[in-house]
Amino acid sequence: MTDPAAPAAPAAPAALPENLSLNLPDALRDRAAALDADDPLAPYRARFAPSDGLIAYLDGNSLGRPLAATRERLASFVDGPWAARLIRSWDEGWMDAPTELGDTLGRVVLGAAAGQTVVADSTTVLLYKLARAAVDARPGRRVIVADTENFPTDRFVLQGIAAERGLELRWITPDAEAGVTPEEVAAAVGQDTALVLLSHVAYKSGYVADLPAITRIVHDAGALVLWDLCHSAGSVPLDLDADGVDIAVGCTYKYLNGGPGSPAFAYLAAGLQGEVRQPVQGWMGAAEPFAMSAAYEPATGIRQLISGTPPVIGMLPMRDMLALIEEAGMAAVRAKSLALTGFAMEIADEHLAGVHVASPRDPERRGSHIMLDHPDFRRVVAEAWERGVVPDFRPPQGLRVGLSPLSTSFTEVANGLWLIRDLLNNQLR
């Protein structure tokens, strides 16, 4: 396994597919090369498994690339704790994996002290469990506040809970490119509000919400706030404890590179753990799982959020990425993220005629992806995938450029967006 203390030199890029000839102008090629030469995180790119024929991966905010170290970790798991120790491994680490890995995740990327983060379930399941628990913890309050621009899962889960509990959903309709503001939240909450659910980074525009200010506003109204961290965990620094966050949920397959279907995580502030009780009462969240009791008694602390058997194998890949992020430092990751998205915006402004940048220009309000709008992007994205450039399409006409800082080069961004330009201009058809 590669020594994490000594990044190797960047690997050679994959050869261009035969049907692609990039014709970047010299000025753009030289600028990208200079940015790569000055990038202190450039050596980390060699830690990721190669993808043959890939020119530019611009979808790291949907699925992070695998680390080469994960290949060895998975193989050694099969031969080691699984084959050699079998069921004994539950007593030798597997049972504590959700909270042990949760503590690591909390320390490295969430700004959370130990005992407040757990890895389990999927994002949808954890959103349901925590949102249901939150509204039940505020009896007599009949309103849930959310926004119309949030990811479908968040909206769908809340619609189901509102119907199930006889609650009212109060919708904020923000500027799609600006995101939910503290002023909009202040106008929506009141003494009838039980819960506010928002995304820290908007999944379309990449807008970064003012988490500390909004959290204070929600608390002043006596409600709880649940933050969706799917597009910020691992790319935007967080300080959940210092900012007084109540509850948070996020996935691990984006900037935490846990792989397809890797388990989600939940944060529940220590001060709420005796007050908030999640509704899916499974045996692994019981105080004594192997007592096989007749009645459910929840475990104390963060373990009460667990319901079923922990996804031990699914937790393995993110261990490598968390180690990499901790080594690089979240401040450096954030700096590279802003440099990448800023560079992508420059290219869009200068070279993508007719394309609208539908993301914040202010770097403080921008996550690690940007949204570009053009009526022909559905076709362009499909054709780009066939040529080794992989962005993301979001209806009705958005091309999302997701840039994972530790695995993405500036040259990769330039090559990918230049091919997008050629496809828009019908030069490669």
Neighbours of 266 (CB within 10 A): 28
Sign of the four-CA dihedral 319, 321, 326, 331: negative
Phi, psi of 68 (to 5 degrees): -60, -35
Is-catalytic flag, 151?
yes
Hey, what CATH topology would domain 26-68+329-424 get? Aspartate Aminotransferase, domain 1 (3.90.1150)
pLDDT tens string, the chain, 429 residues long: the values are 333 333 333 333 344 444 445 789 999 999 999 999 999 999 999 999 999 999 999 999 999 999 999 999 999 999 999 999 999 999 999 999 999 999 999 999 999 999 999 999 999 999 999 999 999 999 999 999 999 999 999 999 999 999 999 999 999 999 999 899 999 999 999 999 999 999 999 999 999 999 999 999 999 999 999 999 999 999 999 999 999 999 999 999 999 999 999 999 999 999 999 999 999 999 999 999 999 999 999 999 999 999 999 999 999 999 999 999 999 999 999 999 999 999 999 999 999 999 999 999 999 999 999 999 999 999 999 999 999 999 999 999 999 999 999 999 999 999 999 999 999 998 765
Q: Between vectors from CA 302 to CA 180 and to CA 235, what angle results, nearest 5°?
A: 40
pLDDT in tens, 152-192: 999 999 999 999 999 999 999 999 998 999 999 999 999 99
Q: Give the pLDDT score at 428.
A: 66
pLDDT of residue 88: 97
Instruction: Tell me how far CA of residue 106 lies from CA of 41, 116, 310, in angstroms.
Output: 22, 8, 18
Catalytic residue flag (residue 44): no
Measure Cα distances from 186 to 172, 191, 294, 342 in Å. 11, 12, 46, 31
* Whether 220 is catalytic: no
pLDDT at residue 362, rounded to an integer: 97
Domain boundaries, the chain: 26-68+329-424, 95-311
Q: Which of 57, 151, 343, 393 is catalytic?
A: 151
Of the candidates 382, 402, 347, the residue with the CA atom closest to the CA atom of residue 230 = 402
DSSP string, 126-195: HHHHHHHHHHHTSTT--EEEEETTS-HHHHHHHHHHHHHHT-EEEEE--BTTTB--HHHHHHH--TTEEE
Does residue 253 have an active-site annotation? yes
Interatomic CA distance for residues 157 and 127, integer angstroms = 7
Q: Given the residues 141, 254, 336, 387, select the one marked as catalytic.
A: 254
Cα–Cα distance for residue pair 23/239, rounded to 1 Å: 44
| Residue of 253, 255, 267, 393 marked catalytic | 253
State how far the Cα of 172 lies from the Cα of 188, in Å rounded to an integer: 7
Of 319, 336, 365, 400, catalytic = 400
Q: Which fold has domain 95-311?
A: Aspartate Aminotransferase; domain 2 (3.40.640)
CA-CA-CA-CA torsion sign (212, 216, 218, 223): positive
Is 410 noted as a catalytic residue in this protein? no
Tokens of 82: 């699984």
Active-site choice (39, 210, 228, 246): 228
Distance CA 8, CA 174 (A): 45
Q: For residue 407, what are the CA distances in angstroms to 50, 67, 107?
A: 11, 9, 22
